[in-house]
Amino acid sequence: MTEHTSVAIAAVMPAAGIGKRMRSDVPKQYLQLHGKTILEHSVARLQAVPAVSQIWLALAADDPYFADTALAHSNIIRVKGGAERMHSVLNALQFIDEHQYPWVLVHDAARPLVRSSDIEHLIQRCLAVEQGGILACRVRDTMKRGELQVSETVSREHLWHALTPQFFPTALLRAALKDAITAGVHVTDEASAMEWAGHNVLLVEGHSDNIKITQPADLALAAFYLEQIV
């Protein structure tokens, strides 16, 4: 068990996407998983961490599904999502006071399996060195580059799968995202924005079952993993 931090931490969850690759009638975050939506599971993982004081949820302006979840009656703050993940996260960060919440976690709505112990470990490691970081897991497979044919084999040494949450100082992350968007730089996660802005990003190893539900087969795998995680 990890020790709890006294620092008040904000959490942001971008959930404005529609998840085209799932080929479902509803956005993937609203698909059912063991009797709850994926979104409800993901939010519950953050709520289980004592250091997380408040959660901001970035939703599409015309989202018709959120009202039917238990989250609609919780103390989660809903904000308008953007065209891309980076816009949604920045929109949420605009409402967060960096003096009240000097650090912020950003977690994927479609990662319902992250362990509270991993989140707490990420927080502790980053606060100990006063540096932002991400949960990640080492690449285990042989890596190939190419399209229809292999153009090269890439060494897996020093390669990691980026996971979430990702944890950074609120003001620095907001500035990095804002500057990247202004410069026309497309970033796919918060670490990318911080790297582009010249900040170091700590790698904190987490469990590989912290999968992101993207394809239809992932839902069945997540259901299996959910039964195994205590």
Q: Using an 8 Å Cβ cutoff, are 112 and 213 in contact? A: yes
Cα dihedral sign, 68-69-70-71:
negative
Length of the chain: 230
What is the DSSP track for 63-104?
Answer: -SSGGGSGGGGSSPEEEE--SSHHHHHHHHHTT--TTT--EE
Q: What is the residue whose two structure tokens read 């996407």?
A: 17
pTM of the model: 0.93
Give residue-wise pLDDT tens across range 49-92: 999 999 999 999 999 999 999 999 999 999 999 999 999 999 99
Query: pLDDT (tens digit, 9 = 90+) per residue, 94-127?
Result: 999 999 999 999 999 999 999 999 999 999 999 9
Distances (CA, A) of 110 to 22, 61, 88, 107, 186: 11, 19, 15, 9, 21
Question: What percentage of residues in the chain have a pLDDT greater than 70?
Answer: 95
- The token pair at 170 is 């609120």
What domains, with CATH codes, occur in the chain?
Answer: 9-228 (3.90.550.10)
